[in-house]
Amino acid sequence: MSLQNDLTQKVIEAVKQLYQVELPSVEFQPTRKDFEGDITVVVFPMLRHVKGNPVQIGTQIGEYLVANVDEVSKCNVVQGFLNIVIEDSYYLNFFNSIFSENDFGYVKSQSDDAVMVEYSSPNTNKPLHLGHIRNNLLGYSVAEILKASGKKVYKTQIINDRGIHICKSMLAWQKFGEGETPESSGLKGDHLVGKYYVAFDKAYKEQIAELVEAGTEKEKAEKEAPILLEAQEMLRKWEAGDDEVVSLWKKMNGWVYEGFDVTYKNLGVDFDTLYYESDTYLLGRDVVKDGLERGVFFKKEDGSVWIDLTEDGLDEKIVLRSDGTAVYMTQDIGTAIQRVTDHPDINGMVYTVGNEQDYHFKVLFLILKKLGYSWAEQLYHLSYGMVDLPSGKMKSREGTVVDADDLIQNMEDTAASISQELGKLDGYSEEEKKQLYRTIGLGALKYYILKVDPKKRILFNPEESVDFQGNTGPFIQYTYARIQSILRKADDVKSSAVETSLELHEKEKELLKQIQLFPETIQLAAENFSPALVANYTYDLVKEFNSFYQQVSILGETDEQKKNFRVQLSQKVGELIQSAFRLLGIDVPERM
């Protein structure tokens, strides 16, 4: 039981003894820096249940706590706030209990119910870009946080490997590629295919311009441009199983997957299962037909099938076209059901998709509930805002996308430039420098994106992210490296328990209080699907450590007992930084 839970029970007990009233809850907050105390009880909410002067009520409760709670050494009341001072021994006992604990804060036993987290889910007609980076980092981190909170997790993606946009790249390669391959061009496969997606768009626009110049209305020209009609015909052939088209589709998608795998590896994300739209686009139709018989859906005069969600504050939504073909919603219904069929222990899913799809997921989740799936109550759309660069928005058809591979390389280069300016790399081999630049560059990128609440839009500035001061990845990595330097100089850390009679410095106590918050932070981050809570907790921990480092002697301490405790405390903070950053997919360097 945590101190706050224990104190809650004791405050409720005190009020019952003193005033014969049963409090429903107790409100706590951290004690303000200018007052003595470690935790504060807010008395004002109690006045709804206890009549009297808040100062007098607080004083009487404080006296009760001092007399009946071993951990409470003294109390003081400021207006309606009861400030409680906790014995040093309480914090030292806590530290002794966790010092040898690996992965402190992680729940070791997994739930029987699994959660599936979907992220990335790219199209196979172009490389991954900056938007995919935020998607991947969020999805991967949320999956790791859910695991740390005690959930069983499956990480997955659905790869959008079919449709007109895929055929556009294929057709352009056929027309303009002259047999070019990743090997012959030296391009990553996804970059090569993306090149022909851009080439299609260029040719398409040229044909529209020619038709308009010849007297065709623009809207008609956009529909009748010969290259678009050819792409539509290619899609029809693909759906009919034409051998030549399917063979080309497999070859070009294979190039893309090899390219994606390199990017995922460089980004440090992975997946347990993969789903492909080419396998799932027919799913859901039978479910809709069954739902139609049960009255969940209704049919219009043209034969199309819909669901009426107006009573739920939404609108009518089509789920089957009049010709019986599926829409994206139908496919998503079928895919969700298929996933639970494949993994019967799933009792929830997290969809990492940009906020432009907010309405889509409201409708999807509601339809699945109306179809009677109990797990539909545990579906969550991890909606996130766009990522912009100072140079502006991205447009993939025009080839102005901020490419993920280029951005990763740019982050390494930026880290290299700043590290060299700081001149901290004496004695490093070229290979060690390269690895360090990658660790710092990727850490900067990931932290900058993950420290922001997912729902907020981000303006990403690469140079600002690679700053060794402030709320950045490199600042936290540098603190971790500083701790490792302390540990190397200390030779070895004694694992013996700290004497609980030791008198704590104020900075030691503040650091211990921050360490105590880690398990709660993981649970809150899991409940809110928010890596930002873990990122900003880590920054607060590092700020507390640096304040401790600046004001308290560690290796220069002459009292061996105090010195060993401070080295142990530094070691634990280092472990927590590493643990927290692991949840964000960020590595930490031993030296910087």
Per residue in 403-449, pLDDT tens? 899 999 999 998 998 888 777 677 788 899 999 999 999 999 999 99
> How far is C-alpha 173 from the chain's CA centre?
36
**Which residue, chain included where needed, has tokens 């018989």?**
293
Q: Give yes or no for a contact between 259 and 188, defined as CB atoms under 8 angstroms apart.
A: yes
Compute φ and ψ for 366, nearest 5 degrees. -70, -40
pLDDT at position 395, please?
Answer: 45
pLDDT at position 254, please?
Answer: 98
Q: Which of 12, 22, 562, 115 is nearest to 347 (CA)?
A: 115
- Residue 399 CA to residue 21 CA, distance in Å, equals 69
Q: Which of 388, 386, 542 is nearest to 462 (CA)?
A: 388
Q: Is 316 exposed, middle or buried (0-12, 13-18, 19+ CB in 10 A)?
A: exposed
- Residue 5 CA to residue 3 CA, distance in Å, equals 5
pLDDT of 398 > 60? The answer is no
**Which residue, chain included where needed, has tokens 């047999």?**
179
**Of 112-121, 125-134, 383-392, 468-477, which gets the smallest average pLDDT?**
383-392
Q: What is the mean pLDDT of residues 145-152?
A: 97
Q: Which domains does the chain have, with CATH numbers?
A: 3-86 (3.30.1360.70), 116-388 (3.40.50.620)
- Cα–Cα distances in Å, from 570 out to 89, 471, 495? 19, 20, 13
Q: b/e per residue, 159-172, with b = 16+ CB within 10 A?
A: bbbbbebbbbbbbb
Q: What is the mean pLDDT of residues 41-64?
A: 96
pLDDT of 401 > 70? The answer is no
Q: Give yes or no for a contact between 155 and 275, defined as CB atoms under 8 angstroms apart.
A: no
Whether the model clears a pTM of 0.85, i.e. scores above it, the answer is yes
Q: What does the block give as tokens for 102?
A: 């690996």
* Helical ranges in 149-299 per DSSP H: 164-176, 182-185, 189-213, 218-224, 226-239, 243-267, 277-280, 285-293
- Residue 328 CA to residue 170 CA, distance in Å, equals 22
pLDDT of 499 > 70? The answer is yes
Q: Is 384 exposed, middle or buried (0-12, 13-18, 19+ CB in 10 A)?
A: buried
Q: Long-range contacts: 461-467, Cβ < 8 Å, 24+?
A: 461/389, 461/390, 462/407, 462/410, 462/411, 462/414, 463/414, 465/411, 466/411, 466/414, 466/415, 466/418, 466/440, 466/441, 467/418
Radius of gyration for the chain, computed over Cα atoms and rounded to the nearest angstrom: 30
Q: Which of 153, 119, 116, 155 is nearest to 454 (CA)?
A: 119
pLDDT at position 397, please?
Answer: 44
Q: Give yes or no for a contact between 423 and 461, defined as CB atoms under 8 angstroms apart.
A: no
Q: What does the block give as tokens for 526?
A: 């899991």
**CA angle (102 as vertex; 520, 268 as ends), nearest 5:** 80
pLDDT at position 6, please?
Answer: 85
Q: What is the mean pLDDT of residues 41-47?
A: 96
The proportion of the chain whose per-residue pLDDT surpasses 70, expressed as a percent, equals 98
Q: Dmax of the chain from CA atoms?
A: 95
- Cα–Cα distances in Å, from 525 out to 141, 232, 383, 389, 475? 10, 45, 15, 27, 22
Query: pLDDT digit string (tens) for 20-36?
Result: 999 999 999 989 989 99
More confident call, 195 vs 3: 195
pLDDT at position 542, please?
Answer: 98
Q: What is the mean pLDDT of residues 250-254?
A: 98
Mean per-residue pLDDT over the chain, rounded: 94
pLDDT of 392 > 70? The answer is no
Q: Give yes or no for a contact between 65 and 84, defined as CB atoms under 8 angstroms apart.
A: yes
Q: What is the mean pLDDT of residues 507-536?
A: 97
pLDDT at position 575, please?
Answer: 97
Query: pLDDT digit string (tens) for 117-134?
Result: 999 999 999 999 999 999
